[in-house]
Amino acid sequence: MDRSSQRARRGDVDPFIVMDVMEHARALEEAGRSIIHMEVGQPGTPAPKGARQALARALDQPLGYTVALGLPALRQGIADLYHRWYGITLDPARVVVTAGSSGAFLLAFTALFEAGQRVGLGEPGYPSYRQILRALSLVPVGIPAQPENRLQPVPADLAGHDIDGLIVASPGNPSGTMLDHAALSALISWAEAKGVPFISDEIYHGLHYGERAVSALEISQSPWVINSFSKYFSMTGWRIGWMVVPEDQVRRVERLAQNMFICPPHPAQLAALAALDCEAEMEENRAVYRENRRLMLEGLPEAGFTKIAPPDGAFYIYADVSDLTDDSLGLAREILEGAGVAVTPGLDFDPKRGHQTLRFSYARSTADIAEGLRRLKAFMAAR
């Protein structure tokens, strides 16, 4: 048997459609088109000034391997952040610095689950959960969340699903909706009663427009909590995230991190440490997102996108476009080519229902959002 072209089935993951949209938009821009980017969840602002200055100073010193779990000062700084934001006293020994939240997902899924086990995730939800699980020979189990529950899973949705773990995001991507203390407690209690691990994706914490987001660590010490400097701290390309794990799991995760990654990027860790002292600048960014959100909630219905999830946080609007199309991919392509506005088809987030939804990001400048809405209104009126 010729094995030269043999492929592992676990490598056959689905494409990340938003990245394909970005590439199409880039090609149009290279051809001279003006494109407004509402497709990608990437802040339009740079890393905070203090982080950039810290990196500049660090370039004159050796930047090599750090300990696998991250710089002790950064782990302490993250623990201090939990005290400021949530009033939690967190042992920094439980903080694991990772190569972006993606590195945290790889470590968590590898540490928690055996090949073939089934992990539940709310849909609509972040698509890479499914693909990372599949690449690790795990089985993602979509849990359809309902509009009446603000597109967040509730314990009743889990009935009848045989799962060995559960991952939940609040604020959610693509919906921007959040779980309050009672709703998050109900899910954690369900998982603890079943004896299955609960993973809380809190990457959009800090980006809220009413009540702040609730951390799973305010409720229980058993969840695995994942976060990142990408969103609130505006450091997507720096690839620096973190994870808080139960005390008895730290050494297990450390061994995995040593072998899988050696350590997180040293320069990014130094920048992230400085970013923790830049919350005033981050709050200025959040004020921009708040205004962008206001414009979107006003302008999208005027463009014909009237059925939207109520976004509490993050920087997304998720719209039901079933009255407009059964082909969200085709509609997104029409909008990009006809209006010069890049948006994301819902198929990324919900393989079953996503052909009738679109996600709009308002992470860019207010001027971009206003121009994008103007283009959308004109295009949809003429469509």
Give the strands of the sheet with 224-228, arranged side by side.
95-98, 241-244, 224-228, 198-201, 165-169, 118-123, 139-144
CB-CB contact of 95 with 78 (8 Å)? yes
CA atoms of 359 and 362, how far apart (whole Å): 10
* CATH numbers and ranges of domains, the chain: 9-46+280-382 (3.40.640.10), 61-277 (3.40.640.10)
Bridge partners, residue 308, by sequence: 319
pTM: 0.94
CA atoms of 198 and 175, how far apart (whole Å): 20
Beta strands in 36-195 (DSSP E): 36-37, 95-98, 118-123, 139-144, 165-169
**How many other CB atoms sit within 10 Å of the CB of residue 28?**
16
CA atoms of 284 and 135, how far apart (whole Å): 39
**What is the pLDDT tens value at each position of the chain, 383 positions in all?**
555 555 677 777 566 777 888 889 889 999 999 999 999 888 989 999 999 999 999 999 999 999 999 999 999 999 999 999 999 999 999 999 999 999 999 999 999 999 999 999 999 999 999 999 999 999 999 999 999 999 999 999 999 899 999 999 999 999 999 999 999 999 999 999 999 999 999 999 999 999 999 999 999 999 999 999 999 999 999 999 999 999 999 999 999 999 999 999 999 999 999 999 999 999 999 999 999 999 999 999 999 999 998 899 999 999 999 999 999 999 999 999 999 999 999 998 999 999 999 999 999 999 999 999 999 999 999 98
How many residues are recorded in the chain?
A: 383
Give the strands of the sheet with 344-345, arranged side by side.
307-308, 316-320, 357-361, 344-345
Q: 370 CB contacts (<8 Å, ≥6 apart)?
A: 295, 299
Q: What is the pLDDT of residue 158?
A: 97
CA atoms of 86 and 64, how far apart (whole Å): 33
With CA atoms as reference, report the closest residue to 167 among 186, 142, 149: 142
CB-CB contact of 178 with 170 (8 Å)? yes
- For 239, the token pair is 């690839």
Cβ-in-10-Å burial (0-12, 13-18, 19+) of 321 comes to buried
- For 289, the token pair is 């997102």
Pairing of strands 307-308, 316-320: antiparallel
CB-CB contact of 251 with 56 (8 Å)? no
CA atoms of 299 and 313, how far apart (whole Å): 18
> Using omega within 30 degrees of 0 as the cis cutoff, is the peptide bond preceding 124 cis?
yes
Q: What is the pLDDT of residue 10?
A: 74
Helices (H) and strands (E) in the chain, counts: 12, 13
**How many other CB atoms sit within 10 Å of the CB of residue 76?**
17
